[in-house]
């Protein structure tokens, strides 16, 4: 192998290690590290959870004395500041590492090139940008959050081939098959929060928990967009046992008696800033970001999806499509609202991928544009 191929080989190994902690490191990034000496891997590590040692520390500890003069491959620039743990740059220098290869610089303003600069000025050979695109995609949630203090937002829907999410009578279980539904639970396990509108709660009474066949799933924080606090205290999102809290996002017009009932049922009430009877979704994202919620999976109906898209808070869409034709003029679709008059105002996706789950297909892509319509600028009214 050439030196460039060798760097990519070991960096991919580090990226694979980082991915083991998917959904567990928030608000920190996923990071993997590999220590290589004489073309032999002598240390491996990954960041498992916020507040625990970083990937570099695990890998250096495993390498021990063999780290001296070795190459450290790390998926993100080593930190150089004191947070919940000490600077990784100090540990790297103390171990005598001779070369550090990073996939990308850290977008955190507290680091942002300073870590690599410290190592370089201390005599360590430094290289950055190896498999950077893969590293950025792996940590797309962290990059959005650390640079904007807003969560990375994914809109997910399951629909029939003719674009229906339910029949005209509201029946929607189950449009997709078991393989696609399992993937949805894996998504819930990955993201910090799951968001639905009050109509979904009243119609479907979902629990919004993660249920994986192998167990060990993490329940996301449940967020209900409910301007007037109409969520029933007996709803499953409040009564089903879970370590994850349920946040009910309301406006200042929510009746006090409704708020009191929900608080008594265990809900956390979040009064979202803004005027009028509707929940401002952009303001809601800012509030969730302040609570260190770095990612949100929207699983609502057509109106909440439309409101989120026109609020320009959606970063990515994940659409499951079943080989099923429902039909019916009154059967709802995955995106409601007024809709644009022309195709030039339609939302376009980039980096589109298509995956098959059983008989269903899943289309993923990143939202590139969109123009708010008059009267629908990111507010949700149930």
Distance CA 89, CA 114 (A): 10
Any known ligand binding at 377? no
Any known ligand binding at 319? no
Distance CA 155, CA 305 (A): 7
Distance CA 155, CA 1 (A): 42
Any known ligand binding at 249? no
Backbone φ, ψ for residue 316 (5° rounding): -150, 145
Any known ligand binding at 254? no
Q: Is 15 helix (H, G, I), strand (E, B) or coil?
A: helix
Any known ligand binding at 299? yes
Cis previous bond, 27, omega within 30? yes
Any known ligand binding at 211? yes
Distance CA 144, CA 150 (A): 7
Any known ligand binding at 79? yes
The catalytically annotated residue of 8, 56, 179, 287 is: 56
Residues whose CB is less than 8 angstroms from the CB of residue 377 and which lie 6 or more positions away in sequence, other chains included: 310, 311
Any known ligand binding at 298? no
Any known ligand binding at 379? no
Other CB atoms within 10 Å distance of the CB of residue 319:
17
Any known ligand binding at 174? yes
Helix pair angle (88-95, 114-121), 10° resolution: 20
Catalytic residue status for 140:
no
Identify the bridge partners of residue 101 per DSSP, sorted by sequence position.
73, 127
Q: Which residue shows structure tokens 């319509």?
A: 373
Q: Are 341 and 180 in contact (CB under 8 A)?
A: no
Any known ligand binding at 200? yes
Element (H, E) at 349: strand 349-357
Any known ligand binding at 378? no
Any known ligand binding at 246? no
Any known ligand binding at 160? no
Q: Where are the alpha helices (DSSP H) in the chain?
A: 3-18, 55-63, 88-95, 114-121, 132-138, 140-148, 178-190, 198-204, 236-239, 256-264, 281-290, 302-310
Any known ligand binding at 204? yes
Residue 375 exposed, middle or buried by CB count within 10 Å (0-12, 13-18, 19+)? exposed
Any known ligand binding at 84? no
Cis previous bond, 371, omega within 30? no
Could you list the residues known to form a binding site for NADP(+), using ranges. Answer: 158, 174, 200, 204, 227, 301-307
Could you list the residues known to form a binding site for substrate, using ranges. Answer: 172, 188, 208, 211, 299
Could you list the residues known to form a binding site, using ranges. Answer: 54, 79, 88, 158, 172, 174, 188, 200, 204, 208, 211, 227, 299, 301-307
Could you list the residues known to form a binding site for Zn(2+), using ranges. Answer: 54, 79, 88
Write out the catalytic residue numbers.
Answer: 56
């Amino acid at each position: 192998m050439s030196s460039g191929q060798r760097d990519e080989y070991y960096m991919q190994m580090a990226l694979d290690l980082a991915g083991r902690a998917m959904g567990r490191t928030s608000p920190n990034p996923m990071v993997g590290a590999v220590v290589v000496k004489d073309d032999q891997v002598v240390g491996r590590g990954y960041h498992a959870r916020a507040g625990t040692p970083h990937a570099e520390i695990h890998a250096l500890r495993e390498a021990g004395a063999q780290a001296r003069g070795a190459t450290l491959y790390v998926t993100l620039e080593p930190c150089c500041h004191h947070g919940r743990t000490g600077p990784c740059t100090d540990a790297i220098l103390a171990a005598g590492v001779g070369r550090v290869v990073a996939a990308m610089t850290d977008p955190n303003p507290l680091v942002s090139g300073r870590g690599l600069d410290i190592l370089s000025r201390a005599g360590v050979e430094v290289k950055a940008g190896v498999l950077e695109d893969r590293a950025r995609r792996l940590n797309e949630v962290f990059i959005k959050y650390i640079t904007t203090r807003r969560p990375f937002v994914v809109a997910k829907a399951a629909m029939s081939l003719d674009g229906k999410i339910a029949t005209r009578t509201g029946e929607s279980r189950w449009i997709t098959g078991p393989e696609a539904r399992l993937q949805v639970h894996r998504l819930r396990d990955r993201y910090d929060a799951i968001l639905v509108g009050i109509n979904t709660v009243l119609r479907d009474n979902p629990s919004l928990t993660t249920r994986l066949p192998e167990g060990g799933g993490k329940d996301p924080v449940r967020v209900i967009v409910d301007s007037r606090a109409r969520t029933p205290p007996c709803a499953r999102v409040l009564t089903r046992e879970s370590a994850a809290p349920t946040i009910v996002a309301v406006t200042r017009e929510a009746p006090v008696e409704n708020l009191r009932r929900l608080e008594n049922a265990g809900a956390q009430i979040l009064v979202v800033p803004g005027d009028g009877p509707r929940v401002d979704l952009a303001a809601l994202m800012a509030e969730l970001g302040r609570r260190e919620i770095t990612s949100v999976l929207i699983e609502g109906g057509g109106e909440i999806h439309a409101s989120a898209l026109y609020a320009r808070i959606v970063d990515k869409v994940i659409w499951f499509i079943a080989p099923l034709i429902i039909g019916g003029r009154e059967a709802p679709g995955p995106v409601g609202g007024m809709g644009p008059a022309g195709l030039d105002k339609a939302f376009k996706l980039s980096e589109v991928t298509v995956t098959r789950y059983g008989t269903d297909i899943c289309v993923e892509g990143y939202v590139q544009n969109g123009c708010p319509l008059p009267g629908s600028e990111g507010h949700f009214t149930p």
